[in-house]
Amino acid sequence: MIGKTFTTMLGGKELSIETGKLAKLVSGSVTVRYGDTVLLVTAQASDTQSKLDFLPLTVEFEERHYAVGKIPGSFHRREGRPGEKAILSARITDRQIRPLFPKGYRHETQVIITVLSADGQNLPDVLGPIGASAALSVSDIPWAGPTACVRVGQVDGTFVVNPTAEQLTRSRMDLVVAGTRDAVMMVECGAQTVGEEEIVSAIEFAHAQMQPIIDLIEQMRAEVGQEKFNFVAEGDLTVDLVPELAEKARAGGLRGALLTVKKKDRSARTKAVRDAIIAEYVPDAEAEGAAERITALKNAYAKVEKQELRRLILEEDLRADGRDSKTVRPIWIEARPLPRAHGSAIFTRGETQVLGITTLGTERDEILIDDLTGETGDKFLLHYNFPPYSTGEVKRMGGQSRREIGHGNLAKRAIRAVLPSFEEFPYVIRVVGEVLESNGSSSMATVCAGTLSLMDAGVPLKAPVAGVAMGLVMEEGRYRILTDILGLEDALGDMDFKVCGSAEGVTALQMDIKVGGITPQVMREALAQAREGRLHILGKMSEVLSAPRAELSPTAPRIVSLKINPELIGKVIGPGGKQVRELEAMGAQVTIEEDGSIRIFSADGQAAEAVKARIEGLTREAKVGEEFEGTVVKTAPFGAFVNLFPGQDGMLHISQISEERISAVEDALNVGDKLRVKIVNIDDRGKIDLIRPELEGKIAPREPRAPRGSDRGGERGGDRGPRREFGDRGPRGPRPEGDRPPRQDENRREEGERPAAPAPAPTSETPREE
């Protein structure tokens, strides 16, 4: 038998991992199956070390439409660049496996996850990390796994491991957790304002549920795993220089330089200390071998900086800008800096600044997503932009990076939890976070700026939300949690833990660990400290905008809603869409739902109201007893037709026009005359009979027209009297029996159908004899 399969139970369903069957030329290859969702995951490393000074790891998540029995909808009918969901799924795997590669490992390594089958219920994004862990574990690539990954939902108050797509729609949280045997390494969460202790309980539940998966992968490694190849970590020559350089750096003022508040000033001062030390070791920078010596000294000095900064934090509770571990940087906020945007705000925290902009649109602006879950729409968009000038750098401008997509998704999850429903606020909402300055926590500043811009636009949020990034320095059993970390502290620290939420609870969080993982106790402390920081930031935000503005921004478009009888939708659309085009030519967009709900969208409130009035006129339904100021639009021998409102006329019979008998309608009324009329009858065909209200009770009421299909004893009733058997042409002669075609009702009787109804009663357009 080809291949070997390993199985365990997860959430009441079988999880199987097979290896040795597919893609056998790659270093590590496994197939993961859960339900009818199947993934192929491969891991491969290059033979030689690269010259890069970072870990060259790439993770790709490939969605194949054949996995759900679909042909791609693109022009070429084949898959193109990864969509946003695929990129986010790849990031989940990358963040789990990256910290466990050996220090100094520089072999280019690629993990490719290919979705071969997707059943629509068992989501593939959390199976990819399991496959990556298994593929790396059985490969010859040095890696300190295994790890495992699970999703946790909360349905009806109970934690559920790997909930189905249907269960997720009813869950209060969507929590993805990855970890090793002993600790949690990565957390990604969106929640409906959940308490911190509940979050920790869910993470503990997830960590317990992933243990059988770790057992399974360890069994695979023991039975079919390859021996890991050896590698030489370059750059170790600088290790011997570190103690000596550290002593010189302290003497040269490194401590004061690191505690400089401003980023540029701090960088300049630390660079001056470094350059002075290097000049002692390499007086002539042009000498032979000087460049290599300078590079080694710079690498060693970087380690000295890291060590000194971590020592200051752990021993003295002093950070790079002079704050203690719990202090949030100074904050200033400005609402509505942009005169034409629907909503805007500037949020600045220290040297991180984000301009948030909100734009409101119609249903036509929702984004359409075509992925393995099918074609869906999203009425909330959040885009995070990180231009190179935000860090004072010059870089090539291209498309959105994976980092931008990931940060934007985190901010989106944080804010989505407090948005009103579309029924409450029928706008498509786009929020853009323009990062203008970045020195740490720009994604959290985007949450704050985005929330403020929504409130400035008048979007009725359930509660304002804010975000804060937490850090960690941990050494030899000692640790210190940092609130509102700088970019330098993110790079030199051991954790990046972003927490977003309102005053009531958490709406989103993201945690990445650079060490072997952290315990639930550290997470509890980090969440509690994050809450303090979040409440401080929310307080600063409330000083500028304590609640959404009571009215929409003057520049924001207005949406006017109404509901009509669904049977009258055709009147609004008109033949070939003519009527709705005329409505939109009045300066508004019109959307019509099958249930008769209509939304009118216009930047001009008066235009929207005019379109609404026009639609109400087109779809108005008359009722018996209503009175109108009507206009005569046509006269006939039997009466006058009076327009009541656009698209609706009624007939005022000649007998109901005047108290005295008149011989012709024109004796009392002419086309264009205006008069007060009252509806006295509406037949089943919608024909309306009118009377002049002032004559009601003074003249004999006219007999209502018979309903459609009525039979008046074999004679045609109405004003004309019984049907005559002889006309001007004389009596009708007999028809030869053979020539008479069968009557329609006879044909129907032969076919078993109901006989046709008698001819309809005369309409208001039919001349009547007096």
For the annotated binding site for Mg(2+), the residues are: 490, 496
Q: How far is CA 367 from CA 43, 398, 403, 429, 486, in A?
A: 34, 22, 21, 11, 34
CB 247 within 8 A of CB 255: no
C-alpha dihedral, 725 to 726 to 732 to 734, nearest 10°: 50
Q: How many CB atoms lie within 10 A of CB 566?
A: 13
Q: Find where tokens 């906020």 sit.
A: 333
Structure tokens at 755: 């006989």
E strand segments, 11-132: 13-19, 28-34, 37-49, 57-63, 107-117
Please give the full DSSP string across 466-535, using - where no structure is assigned: EEEEEEEEEETTEEEEEES--HHHHHHSSEEEEEEE-SS-EEEEEEEESSS-B-HHHHHHHHHHHHHHHH
CB 124 within 8 A of CB 89: yes
SS3 667: helix
Angle at which helix 196-209 crosses helix 520-544, to 10 degrees, equals: 150
Q: How many CB atoms lie within 10 A of CB 156?
A: 9
SS3 196: helix
Distance CA 441, CA 446 (A): 9
φ/ψ (deg, to 5) at 455: -65, -35
Maximum distance among all alpha carbons in the chain?
Answer: 133
CB 336 within 8 A of CB 315: no
- Binding-site sequence positions: 490, 496
Distance CA 489, CA 325 (A): 11
Distance CA 209, CA 151 (A): 10
The set of residues, in sequence order, having a beta carbon less than 8 Å from that of 646 and lying 6+ positions away, is: 614, 617, 618, 620
Residue type, 764: S
E strand segments, 339-463: 343-349, 352-361, 367-371, 374-378, 380-385, 428-437
E strand segments, 252-379: 331-335, 343-349, 352-361, 367-371, 374-378
CB 10 within 8 A of CB 216: no
CB 166 within 8 A of CB 144: no
Distance CA 183, CA 519 (A): 6
Structure tokens at 23: 């893609």
CB 196 within 8 A of CB 528: yes
Distance CA 294, CA 723 (A): 117
φ/ψ (deg, to 5) at 592: -125, 125
Please choose, from the candidates 271, 281, 291, the residue with its C-alpha nearest in 3D space to the C-alpha of residue 244.
281
SS3 181: coil
- What does DSSP assign to residue 247? H
Go through 98-131 and write b for each residue having 16 or more CB atoms within 10 A of its CB, e for each that does not.
Answer: bbbbeeebbbbbbbbbbbbbbbbebbbbbbbbbb
Can you list the alpha helix ranges (DSSP code H) found in 317-423? Answer: 402-416
CB 161 within 8 A of CB 208: no
φ/ψ (deg, to 5) at 12: 80, 5
